[in-house]
Structure 1
Amino acid sequence: MEIGALVFDILGTLVDEPAGIRAAIRQAAPDADADELVDRWLGHVETEQRRIVEGERPYAPSDVLDREAAQLVTNTDVVPKRPPWPDTVEGLMRLAEQYPIIGLSNAGRTSLLRINAHAGLRWHLALSAEDAQTYKPDPAVYELAVEASGAPPERLLMVATHAWDLRGARSAGLRTAYVARPVGDPPSAADRFDFHAEDLADLAAQLAERRM
């Protein structure tokens, strides 16, 4: 079936989240082990998002979780700027010439605005998990993209570097494309995604070949 829209994860897939956090930590705590603190930061956010999805904690947007993590690791309220991967901006522009582009992020609305402004990302539409008051891989988040697109889920292609995200999208009926990143969650041997791409240029080439 023809693909009606591309749905992109943002954190990790289009922007280098650990690099942005690492830079913010080094500015706030120059003598600290930045790599260890990045792991603690991301671990806190992941744990709290999972607790929210499982109903163990009321919903809190990502900027709140990031502030908690910043206090935990640096005792300050540093706000990271997440840079795009080298292929992101050009890759999105190329893909946007052929498909509607939807961003679908666990980042809250405030964080998403800041990320887009700093990284120069191009969307036709950007959606935040905050609108569903939960986090991926809760099906309610993927449903935001389905409702916004007006297309059946099988005509949407979820693009992410996190295998867990793609599994969630597939469970919600979306098609899936894994894009390799140094910080991603690689597929397991049991995963069956529709596309495997080295970067956005590779994904664009595979999609163009499929359209021929």
Structure 2
Amino acid sequence: MTRSSPEVDTIVFDVLGTLVDLDGAVRAAVRALVPDADDDRVDDLAARWEEHVGAEHRRVIAGERAYATADVLDREAGRLVAERAGATDRTAADEVESPTRQVAAWPDSAAALDRLAARYEVVGLSNADLTTLLRLDARAGLRWHLSLSAELAQSFKPDPRVYRMALDRIGRPAERTLLVATHAWDLRAARAEGMRTAYLARPTGDPPTPDDAFDHHVTSVDELLAVLLDRPSTGDPA
């Protein structure tokens, strides 16, 4: 489903979950940590990792904790998971402490960025810290005109400061900048800052509610490409 929206100059992609399979990377790291665990046990441990990271993001945004990089929070979560699992394998524990650096791209991500970059300014905006984002982009084959981390705002999405930082760096009006994400919470925050929004369905995303009013709802990157590339870009060549 697509709503009417003006032309955009810049397409900003969320990274974790939207272009790369973070959930799969966390579960793979947990399985390596506890090889004999059944699916329920893996789900429980992976959920513990994700809960810690999410909770600490919220604490930073609320001012209850000083900013710490995403890598620090990932390692905290990994240690909690290793302790809960009773794991003693140091190599496997290292992997569950930094699954973001091991994450793989969804199969269609790299090709989509290449096609869009020929017509639009393409930007990545991630909660991953700058160093982790560098390693992740290289591993997953993600190529951007600009890669931005929430670290630059010393916070995490959905803090409004992150989107304002991105808009300042891009130098485009919010209404001519489109955020693409699989997380409805991310899109709501971007929309509140005046950005255009596109929900991209992924197996582990956060789907919109009936009350959400995003500009585009697409079920695949190919559908997003068809929607965007069907219209002429009016932005300067990137």
TM bucket, shorter chain: over 0.9
> Counterpart amino acid of 2:187?
L
Which of the residues 52, 77, 84 maps onto 2:94? 77
Superposed CA deviations along residues 127-171 of structure 1, whole A, max 9, x for unmatched, are 000010011111111112211211111110000000000000001
How do residues 195-210 of structure 1 correspond to structure 2 at under 5 angstroms?
A: 195-210=216-231
Q: Indicate if the aligned counterparts of 1:127 and 1:144 stay in contact, CA closer than 8 A.
A: no
Indicate the residue corresponding to 2:88 in structure 1. none
Shift of residue 103, structure 1, vs aligned partner: 0.3
Separation in 2 of the partners of 1:9 and 1:61?
17
Separation in 2 of the partners of 1:152 and 1:86?
31
Establish whether residue 17 from structure 1 lines up as the match of residue 15 from structure 2: no
Indicate the residue corresponding to 2:13 in structure 1. 8
Separation in 1 of the partners of 2:94 and 2:192?
37
Q: Indicate if the aligned counterparts of 1:13 and 1:184 stay in contact, CA closer than 8 A.
A: yes
Which of the residues 96, 107, 110 maps onto 2:128? 107
Superposed CA deviations along residues 45-74 of structure 1, whole A, max 9, x for unmatched, are 001101110111111111001000100001
Q: Which sits farther off after the overlay, 159-168 or 23-32?
A: 23-32
Which of the residues 143, 155, 161 maps onto 2:164? 143
SS in 1 for 2:123: strand
Superposed CA deviations along residues 167-204 of structure 1, whole A, max 9, x for unmatched, are 00001110000000011000000000001111211101
SS in 2 for 1:77: helix
Superposed CA deviations along residues 18-63 of structure 1, whole A, max 9, x for unmatched, are 1111111222221232222111101110011011101111111110
Q: Which sits farther off after the overlay, 106-115 or 46-55?
A: 106-115
How do residues 1-212 of structure 1 correspond to structure 2 at under 5 angstroms?
A: 1-32=6-37, 33-75=41-83, 76-78=93-95, 79-80=98-99, 81-211=102-232
Shift of residue 115, structure 1, vs aligned partner: 1.0
TM-score (norm 1): 0.96
> Counterpart amino acid of 1:131?
L
Separation in 2 of the partners of 1:159 and 1:31?
38
Q: Which sits farther off after the overlay, 67-76 or 4-13?
A: 67-76
SS in 2 for 1:158: strand
Separation in 1 of the partners of 2:180 and 2:94?
31
Unaligned 5+ runs, structure 1 = none
Shift of residue 211, structure 1, vs aligned partner: 3.2
Indicate the residue corresponding to 2:89 in structure 1. none
Unaligned 5+ runs, structure 2 = 1-5, 84-92, 234-238
Separation in 2 of the partners of 1:57 and 1:131?
17
Q: List structure 1 runs of 4+ shifted beyond 3 angstroms.
A: none
Separation in 2 of the partners of 1:42 and 1:113?
21
Give RMSD over aligned pairs.
1.3
TM-score (norm 2): 0.86
SS in 1 for 2:226: helix
